[in-house]
């Protein structure tokens, strides 16, 4: 199954840098889960086995307000873990989350990961549907994981990340996105 081809918003996805953190933290303020601090993001950015990216609104790329989404990845051995992914509420439903996850999955494959995992609030049906398009499957539940919400987390895995089927899924998702997407080379 590929991601739907609804209207998109032109964005450029680039590696997250310290200069992006003001915009990232603006998005975090809209988050319903425990918010990450500047210090936590800086620690994550310093890690060599991590990849953090931001989506910049192509209409306003010169300001920190241009950050409309962000995502992070931790690679350890054969596994990749999506540590965070968020899109500003005003930019949702424009496939920015799809684009961010596609960049992370592609980067995880490039780094040799064989599987990819993440946690998502059990009530977040839109996110679960997106992850299922990528081939993630619910493998477990973490009771009370989102304590601030009083909610469980679903633990999802894409166990075939390194395989041909996953490659075809990712290619199909990419093909369904507006070609206005420009992704910078990720070095990490």
**Strand 182-183 to 11-15 pairing:** parallel
124-136 CB burial, b ≥16 within 10 A, e <16: beebbebbebbbb
Cβ atoms of residues 38 and 19 within 8 Å: no
Please calculate the CA angle 80-16-61 and round it to the nearest 5 degrees.
135
Q: Catalytic residue, from 119, 132, 139, 146: name it.
A: 119
Is 131 catalytic? The answer is yes
Closest to 109 measured CA to CA, from 47, 153, 52, 158: 158
In the sheet where 115-121 sits, what is the strand order? 137-146, 151-158, 115-121, 79-87, 67-76, 50-57, 11-15, 182-183
Is 145 catalytic? The answer is no
Say which residues have a Cβ less than 8 Å from residue 122's Cβ, sequence separation at least 6: 141, 151, 152, 153, 154
Q: Catalytic residue, from 44, 131, 146, 185: name it.
A: 131
Distance in angstroms (rounded) separating the CA atoms of residues 120 and 115: 17
- Report the catalytic residues: 119, 131
């Amino acid at each position: 199954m590929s991601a739907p081809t609804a209207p998109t918003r032109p964005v450029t996805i680039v590696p997250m840098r310290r200069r992006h953190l003001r915009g990232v933290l603006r998005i975090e303020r809209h988050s319903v889960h425990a918010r990450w601090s500047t210090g936590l993001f800086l620690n994550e950015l310093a890690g060599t086995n991590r990849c953090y990216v931001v989506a910049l609104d192509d209409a306003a790329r010169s300001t920190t307000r241009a950050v409309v989404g962000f995502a992070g990845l931790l690679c350890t051995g054969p596994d990749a873990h999506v540590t965070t992914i968020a899109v500003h509420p005003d930019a949702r439903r424009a496939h920015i989350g799809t684009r961010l996850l596609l960049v992370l999955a592609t980067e995880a494959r490039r780094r040799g990961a064989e599987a990819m995992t993440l946690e998502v609030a059990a009530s977040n049906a839109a996110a679960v549907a997106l992850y299922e398009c990528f081939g993630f499957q619910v493998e477990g539940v973490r009771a009370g994981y989102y304590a601030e919400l009083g909610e469980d987390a679903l633990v999802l895995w894409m166990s075939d990340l390194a395989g041909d089927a996953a490659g075809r899924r990712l290619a199909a998702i990419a093909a369904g996105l507006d070609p206005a997407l420009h992704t910078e080379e990720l070095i990490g």
